[in-house]
Amino acid sequence: MKKGIGVIVNPFSRQNKRNPDRINKLAYIVGSSGTIAATKSLTELEEVAREFKERGIEILALSGGDGTNHITLTKFIEVYGETPLPKIALLRGGTMNTIADSIGIRGDSNQILFNIVEKYHNNIPFKTARRNVMNIDGRYGFLFANGVAFNFLKAYYSGSTPTPTKAATILTKAILSATRGGDFAKWLFKKFKADIYVDGSKWPYKEYFMIVAATIDNLGFGFNPFVKVFDKENCFDIIGVMCEAMDVVMSLPAIRMGLPLNQDKFIDAAAEEVIFESEEPMKYTIDGDIYESGERMIMKAGPKLELIVS
């Protein structure tokens, strides 16, 4: 007997705010094959997660962007505990859909869900991709970054509504500030200090421009920097960037082609566990959401999820 599809909608995502009728359309598409829930708080999300676990749903579909998916998966992993999660469907319902793009999910939310319901109802096999998530101080996600990436997103989310135009404006401001030795560029590109231990071995550097880590290999726009993400069964690729901004720009062709990076300016490893020890609170992003934690942070390879591609 089929146990159904569970759909989680973030009513506060920009895409869903612009399309308030989307929830009704998704509910119509899923019909009797499942249940749809628009969760407005973490408490509601936890209640729905417990309900879906008790019912034993076979597919968990998420309508939101990268941030919504990361928060929802964190709560479901907490609630499910040792019980494996159902197949995961990312419905591309947000402004940033980097994770869905990286594994080849195409179409809008309605098209993706319609295809899933049709295959589910007719017992047609799904094309899936298996990816680990990272456990970053108890939060789960596919993409981690700090340093300049955190600072950029901090500026991006501050003040007016984040848009592609705003991102371009911040980038232009940073370039102009850098040419003049301005305060904005000094803040944006400020290096951070930390001791980093990768699977027990300490990296030989103390200052970094940025640390990025991922369990996906494709960042979109043809960039494939995480060449070691599949080197081991349960791992993530972590890259330390020690160079300056211009060196990163000069390395973009190699990053785009997935070629080995200059080891004097970058350090790269397939890791199962990474420990950060800093003299200041750690500031970082998980799937585009920004966080601050203590001076010590642990990042581990988390559970492997089965993601529906088509």
Tokens of 119: 């295959």
Q: What does the DSSP 8-state code read for residue 228?
A: T
d(CA 177, CA 182): 5
pLDDT at 222: 64
Q: What is the pTM of this model?
A: 0.89
Domain 143-302 falls in which CATH fold? Tumour Suppressor Smad4 (2.60.200)
Phi, psi for 105 (deg, rounded to 5) = -75, 125
Domain 5-126: what homologous superfamily?
Probable inorganic polyphosphate/atp-NAD kinase; domain 1 (3.40.50.10330)
Alpha helices in 81-108 (DSSP H): 98-102
Per-residue pLDDT of the chain (310 residues; tens, 9 = 90+): 678 999 999 887 777 777 777 888 998 999 888 899 999 999 999 999 999 999 999 999 999 888 899 999 999 999 999 999 999 999 998 777 889 999 999 998 999 999 999 999 999 999 999 999 999 999 999 999 998 888 888 888 887 777 778 877 887 887 788 777 788 888 888 888 999 999 999 999 999 988 999 999 877 556 678 888 888 889 999 999 887 666 666 666 766 666 666 667 889 999 999 999 998 899 999 998 989 889 999 999 999 999 999 9
Q: Residue 310: what pLDDT?
A: 92
**Dist. CA 208–CA 190, nearest whole Å:** 9
Q: What is the reported pLDDT for 1? A: 60
Could you list the beta-strand ranges (E) of the chain. 5-9, 34-38, 59-63, 87-90, 128-136, 139-141, 143-146, 192-193, 195-198, 201-202, 207-208, 210-214, 236-241, 266-271, 273-277, 283-286, 289-292, 296-308
Buried b (16+ CB within 10 A) or exposed e, 155-174: bbeeeeebeeebeeebeeeb
**Annotated domain spans of the chain:** 5-126, 143-302
**H-type alpha helices, 84-134:** 98-102, 109-121
Q: Do domains 5-126 and 143-302 have the same CATH topology?
A: no
